[in-house]
Structure 1
Amino acid sequence: MSSVNNINRIAILGAESSGKSQLAEALASRYQTVWVPEYLREFVDAKQRVPQEDEQLLIATTQLQRENEAAKTANAWLFCDTTPLMTAIYSRHYFARVDAALEELEQEHDYDFTLVTAPDFPWTADGLQRESAAVRQRIHENLLSLLEERDIPFLLVEGSLKDRVEQVAFALDFLLE
C-alpha cells in the first residue's frame, strides 16, 4: 500500500443508510485512529434541507479539507466516511449532471483502499436526506458500475457491523503483508 505521510487513507463508500458511518467509527476504534465523518450529514442537519446543485462542490471540497485536517492526527490509518466520488454519483442521480470541478475531484479518487458497504442494513428514513430503499439500491448499483468502469479495486463488505469489521481487518492485514 502506498501512503502519504505514512497514513493509509481508506475510502468508505456506499449508498444512504448502508452503515458507512458505523463502519468508519468502528474501524477507527479498532485501529486506534481517527475517522472523517460525512460532511453532507452535518450540512443537512445545520441547514435543515438537502443541498442544491450549486452546493455539491462545497460538500466535496469540505469533505476533502476535513480529510486533510484529520490526517494530521491520524495513527497509520484514516477512515473516510465518503469521498467526492459519492457526491458526484448523487449529483448525477438528482441533477442529471456533475459540475466540472466536482468531476475533476471525483476522478482523483486517491485512496489506498476502497470499501463499499452493502445495502443490507435495514433502510431507515430520516426525514431529510434519505429517500427510499429503491433509491439506495439504485445508487449502490451505480457505485459498483462506476468503480468497475474505472478499475478501482474495492472490497464489498456485508453483514453485521462485527462481520464487516472482520472482513476489513482481514483485507487490510493481507494488503500490508
Structure 2
Amino acid sequence: MPGLLIAIVGAESTGKSTLAQSLQQRLSEATGLRCAWAPELLREWCDQAGRTPRPEEQAAIAAAQATRCEALALSADLVLCDTTPLMTAVYSELLFDDHSLLDTGLAFHRRCALTLLTALDLPWVADGLQRDGAHVRAPVDAAVRRALMGAGLGWSVVAGSGAQRLEAALNAITPLLLARKTAPLPATGLFSRLQARQDALPEWRWACDNCDVPECEHLLNRRR
C-alpha cells in the first residue's frame, strides 16, 4: 500500500522546503515512520537550464513533480511533497494565462491525505531564478485558495516562524497520523504528546463564508 502524501503548497519564500525537511526529520525520529521528502523539481530544472520554464514546458514539470512524489510513496509511509503540480498550474495561470494544468493539479491533491498551505507571514528572500518578487505572493496565495476551494478540497494553514511553524504543521498532521495508527500509543514520544494535546483541544465548528480570506488567519495569530 503506498504511503500517505502530504502536500505542502504556498507562495514563494514562505518556507515550504524548510518545513518539509524539518517535518521529515522530526516525524522520522519521533514516530519510527518511513518519512520521505520530495524536493521541488522546478528548482533543479531552473538550475540545470539556467532559466525559468517556457509555457510549453510547464506540463512536463508538473507531471515530473507528481511522479517524484508518487514514486517515493511506494517505499515510504509518508511523503512530504515540497510543492505539487497545483503550484505549477497556478503559476501557469498567473504568468501565461494558461488554465490547462489546473485539473491535473487538483487531481493530485485529491490523492493527498492532507494539504498544508504556508502563510505569508515570513519575509520575502531572493533565492534562485524561480523567485519573482514579494509582489506576487498575495496573488499566488489567493489563486491556490481559490483553486482548492473551487474543487471542494480543504487545507490547513501553517503560520509562525521557526519552531512555531513546525509545531503548527505537526498540529495539522497529528489527527491524520493518530487515525491511521493501529498499535497502542507509546507511553512517551511524539504520538503520546500530540494525543494529549489533541484531547485537550475544544471541539471546533469550522464553517465560515470567508474561510479563504487570509486576513482572518492573521487576526487569529495576533490574538494568540
TM normalised by structure 1 equals 0.90
Indicate the structure (1 or 2) with the bigger Cα radius of gyration.
Answer: 2
Q: Does 1:16 align with 2:15?
A: no
- Unmatched tracts of structure 1, length 5 or more: none
Cα distance in 1 for residues equivalent to 2:98 and 2:44: 23
Asked if the contact 2:58–2:92 (Cα under 8 Å) also holds between the matched residues in 1, the reply is yes
User: Deviations along 1:97-127, whole A, 9 cap, x unmatched?
Assistant: 133xx33311312210000001211101235
SS at match of 2:25: helix
User: Deviations along 1:112-144, whole A, 9 cap, x unmatched?
Assistant: 000000121110123521111110121112112
Cα distance in 2 for residues equivalent to 1:152 and 1:137: 20
Closer, same or farther: CA 20–106 of 1 in aligned 2, 3 Å: same
User: Deviations along 1:65-123, whole A, 9 cap, x unmatched?
Assistant: 1112211332x211001111111100000100133xx3331131221000000121110
Asked if the contact 2:14–2:118 (Cα under 8 Å) also holds between the matched residues in 1, the reply is yes
Q: Does 1:107 align with 2:118?
A: no
Greater length-normalized contact order (CA 8 Å, ≥ 6 residues apart): 1
SS at match of 1:31: helix
SS at match of 2:21: helix
Partner of 2:142: 141
Closer, same or farther: CA 69–148 of 1 in aligned 2, 3 Å: same
Which contiguous aligned blocks of 4+ residues in structure 1 show a shift greater than 4 angstroms?
none
- C-alpha root-mean-square deviation of aligned residues, in Å? 1.4
Of 39, 44, 47, the match for 1:45 = 47
TM normalised by structure 2 equals 0.72
Asked if the contact 2:2–2:73 (Cα under 8 Å) also holds between the matched residues in 1, the reply is no
Between the two proteins, the alignment pairs up a number of residues equal to 170
Asked if the contact 1:31–1:77 (Cα under 8 Å) also holds between the matched residues in 2, the reply is no
Asked if the contact 1:22–1:161 (Cα under 8 Å) also holds between the matched residues in 2, the reply is no
User: Deviations along 1:40-70, whole A, 9 cap, x unmatched?
Assistant: 0110111110000000011111101111221
How many percent of aligned residue pairs carry the same amino acid?
Answer: 41
